[in-house]
Amino acid sequence: MQEEVIVAPKRQPKPKWLRVKLPTGKKYTELRSLVERYDLHTICTSGSCPNMGECWSEGTATFMILGNICTRSCGFCGVKTGRPETVDWEEPEKVARSIKLMGIKHAVITSVDRDDLKDMGTIIWAETVKAIRRMNPETTLETLIPDFQGREDLLDRIIAVHPEVVSHNMETVKRLTREVRIQAKYERSLGILKYLKDNGINRTKSGIMLGLGEKEEEVIQTLKDLRDVNLDIVTIGQYLQPSKKHLPVKQFITPDQFKKYEEIGLEMGFRHVESGALVRSSYKAQKHLT
């Protein structure tokens, strides 16, 4: 009996519009030198963000707090999963010093999920914002937060320090949420964004990835759902598979289609819509203050 051979699907070749220009410029070179000299940690470098040069030249950078090991195992994310390290209570001051050294005008702070902690990391979150404000009073802030399991008492800690922008990503359409985000819930994330807006956050923001098998009508419905909770800013980018262990790319979205979603979003009333293959959560983040 002949053994059946199952051939794994080939990874789709990247289209030409996904080619990334190498970052250049005096400001980028200066910041890269500082990051390497002082061993500063940014998502920009560790995540090999395609927009690093552009963002750095405009004085924007993204920092990740609470370690680099996540308690969740989302199918799209390249961050390690496992048992996180002990909380570093000096981290808020370290991040604030890094921002000062780099001369960052607008900082985006994000983190792994810390479901292992009673406060899910929100105390460190709040202390980090406070430390940045003390050391860098002119620096504006965006916090890209996890869902904190939807607990309003934990969200209140973020609201209390009042970042200029609070972001929480939907990541994908409702139908694919369970497959893509596993422990997350679509309605819970919408509820978080509504709670933030209803309780004094002036600018709320979210992001979705395309190319995971979603349909156009599902993307449009997700945009409608976000506007229904008075979201201000949305980013739409192309999903890229971090490794063979992660969810495959089902489709590369064309520039024309990204443009169509941008126009639809603006017609819906979003304050800002960033839509393009290389768009990431913090892309043009400083612009979202206007």
The amino acid at residue 103 is G
Q: Are 228 and 174 in contact (CB under 8 A)?
A: no
Residue 113 to residue 88: CA distance in whole angstroms: 15
Question: The tokens 């139908």 sit on which residue?
Answer: 175
Task: List phi, psi (to 5°) of 200.
Answer: 105, 0
Say if residue 243 carries a ligand binding annotation: no
Say if residue 44 carries a ligand binding annotation: yes
H or E element in which residue 167 lies? strand 165-167
Residue 213 to residue 227: CA distance in whole angstroms: 23
Say if residue 70 carries a ligand binding annotation: yes
Residue 59 to residue 61: CA distance in whole angstroms: 7
Residue 234 to residue 252: CA distance in whole angstroms: 20
Which residues have a Cβ under 8 Å from the Cβ of 142 and sit 6 or more positions away?
A: 106, 107, 108, 109, 163, 164, 165, 166, 167, 205, 282, 285, 288
Q: Are 240 and 49 in contact (CB under 8 A)?
A: no
Say if residue 33 carries a ligand binding annotation: no
Residue 124 to residue 132: CA distance in whole angstroms: 12
Say if residue 282 carries a ligand binding annotation: yes
CA torsion 62→63→65→68, rounded to 10°? 90
Say if residue 74 carries a ligand binding annotation: yes
Annotated binding site: 44, 49, 55, 70, 74, 77, 282
Annotated binding site for [4Fe-4S] cluster: 44, 49, 55, 70, 74, 77, 282
